[in-house]
Homo-oligomer: A and B are copies of this chain.
Amino acid sequence: MKFEETRETVLSELQTVFASIDPDQVEKMADMICASEKVFVVGVGRVLLMMQAFEKRLNHLGIDSYYVGEINEPAITDKDLLIVGSGSGESIVPVAMVKVASKFKPKIIHIGSNPQSSMTPYEDLFVRIPCSTKLNLDDEIKSRQIMSSLFEQSVLLLADMTAMLIADRKNITDLHSLWRKHANIE
């Protein structure tokens, strides 16, 4: 196998996925983030890593954000937003976290592929990335990549597109100025 073949596979699959994402859902997510006091992200495995990248960017944009399990994680309240990344919506730990968190009445967004999951009753917004996951639903986009790579890549790109929408809504025009909020001990 040649690099060119894998490049073509990944980039064309991403084109297909993003053509099928509902713009309204993403813009609604940007609005909900801007309206929240704090944001908490949840995920497992590589999806958690992508949600942490989202969290880091939100902090650059001046939005206090944490991942559930972070050492300095504060208590969640009804003014906050919980964003769960989970393709199937059935991973045990995120589902348990959503159930506990829901007692404190934050808004809840689920970024996933499966529109009818154990998380559905708890969600204020579902942002669909219709990539094939373990569940292999009929209307999901199939991937030639390893495991859930396509979903994970899509979560990162979606997060970064959402960050651009937020910067615009917050009138942050000098993007370079964001480095000032960035960790400076590296």
- The majority secondary structure among interface residues of chain A is helix
Q: Is A23 a contact of B3 with CB atoms below 8 Å?
A: yes
* B46 near A185: Cβ-Cβ < 8 Å: no
- With a cutoff of 8 Å between Cβ atoms, the chain B residues found around residue A163 in the complex are 146, 149
Copies in the complex: 4
CB distance from A5 to the nearest CB of B (A): 8
Report whether B40 and A46 are in contact in the complex, using a CB–CB cutoff of 8 Å.
no
Chain A positions 74-100 with a Cβ under 8 Å from a chain B Cβ: 74-76, 91-93, 96-97, 99-100
Chain B nearest CB, measured from A169 CB (Å): 8
Q: Is the CB of B146 within 8 A of A44?
A: no
Q: Are A65 and B75 in contact (CB-based, < 8 A)?
A: no
User: With A3-B23, A93-B96, A100-B185 known to touch, is A59 a contact of B74 (CB < 8 Å)?
Assistant: yes
Interface pairs (5), CB distance under 8 Å: A4-B23, A6-B160, A49-B50, A49-B56, A70-B71
Lowest 10 A-B CB distances belong to which pairs? A1-B168, A3-B23, A6-B161, A73-B183, A96-B96, A6-B164, A75-B184, A44-B186, A3-B26, A49-B49
- Seed contacts A52-B71, A153-B156; 12 additional CB < 8 Å A-B pairs: A10-B160, A10-B164, A11-B15, A46-B57, A49-B50, A49-B52, A67-B71, A68-B185, A70-B72, A100-B184, A104-B184, A146-B178
